[in-house]
Amino acid sequence: MRKTINNIYLTICILFITVASLSAQINTEDSTVQVIGYWDMNEKQSYLIHDRRISIENSDTTSMQEFQYKVDIQIKDSTDSSYVIEWKYYAYSFVSGSDELKKIMAVYQPVKVLIRTDEMGMFSEVINHEELSVQMNKRLKVLMQKYKSDNYISAQFVKLADKYSSKQSIEQLALAEIQQFYSFHGGMYKLGENVNASLKTPFPGTFEIDTEINIWLSEIDVEDNNFIVQMNKLLNEEQMRNVVYEQLKNNPSLSPEEIPALEDVPAVKVETWSASRIHNAGWPIYSVQTVEVTAENESNIEERIIELL
């Protein structure tokens, strides 16, 4: 059962958790910026995305997985109220980790994602979600058959299939890098001032978690025409305990006797730190996000770096 609980903690760590955006125009008179996408038709930028996942128990690293890939981001349509943007993924490469990770990465082949933002560049929706779902299901069926004797790999493919099963799950679970990329767009920030808010974070299923969020503008670089915005987000620990408990209750691999009482499930701390250096035209130059999930003496950490090429 301990392994099952650990897997749930890891799943929580790598799930996309929606960040409510507050989004670029530098105003030197009052030291403010407004993060707006000033993008032209067919404009394109390329990025390298590096993803690292670490598991720690009693201060010892028990596993580490790393992979990276590239993405071309191109403006496909522009109106007074929205942008249509293509994310084209390619050049996936395995850096380090288990043999299982190499097999799972076989699913992540070059793919195109079409999204819509509002006029400021704030993420609105995935447009081609049906196409993505069909593509992923085709790949997974082949791989599930190939590795049907490996229970662990099969279970990971089932989780991937769930992520791509609907528009909502694709937007909330499958495309964390896109949410990170646009997380500050649509907001106005003043140097030295902290924006604090209490909000509800949607979670897979019917859960909404009380969340404390802080966002601040930490630097304005007038000479190079860019700035840095940072964020900290903390989810309610007791509500996260309830999430873990519900997932344990609904886990078919556990018998009723193996399911712990709610009070025996450890409180779960989920904290996110992120920082992005953004050009005044609204293109991130460098973005880093770390999500840490901690329960008792165990932590699972996912760090994602998005870097302009």
Q: Helices (DSSP H) in the chain: which residue ranges?
A: 2-14, 99-105, 129-146, 151-163, 167-169, 176-181, 237-249
Q: What is the pTM of this model?
A: 0.86
Helix (H) or strand (E) holding 78: strand 60-78
How does residue 177 score in pLDDT terms, banded at 50, 70 and 90?
very high
Is residue 143 scored above 60 in pLDDT?
yes
Report the C-alpha gap between 268 and 245 in whole angstroms.
11
Structure tokens at 152: 């662990």
Dump pLDDT digits (tens) for 236-245.
Answer: 998 888 888 8
CB atoms within 10 A of CB 303: 16
* Angle, helix 237-249 to helix 2-14, in steps of 10 degrees: 120
The answer to whether the Cα torsion of 218, 30, 284, 279 is positive or negative is: negative
Alpha carbon separation from 226 to 57, 109, 211, 217, 250 (Å, rounded): 39, 33, 29, 11, 47
Report the C-alpha gap between 284 and 81 in whole angstroms.
21
How does residue 205 score in pLDDT terms, banded at 50, 70 and 90?
low
Is residue 102 scored above 80 in pLDDT?
no
Task: Name the percent of the chain lying above pLDDT 70.
Answer: 91
Q: How far is CA 25 from the centre of its chain?
A: 26
Q: Are 306 and 284 in contact (CB under 8 A)?
A: yes
- Scan for tokens 């085709």, then name that residue: 138
Phi, psi of 167 (to 5 degrees): -60, -45
Report the C-alpha gap between 267 and 239 in whole angstroms.
8
* Domains annotated on the chain, with CATH: 2-308 (2.30.230)
3-class state of residue 201 by DSSP: strand
Is residue 160 scored above 80 in pLDDT?
yes
- Which one, of 276, 277, 244, lies nearest residue 6 by Cα? 244
Is residue 149 scored above 90 in pLDDT?
no
Q: Please state which of the ranges 14-18, 271-275, 280-284 shows the lowest mean pLDDT.
A: 14-18
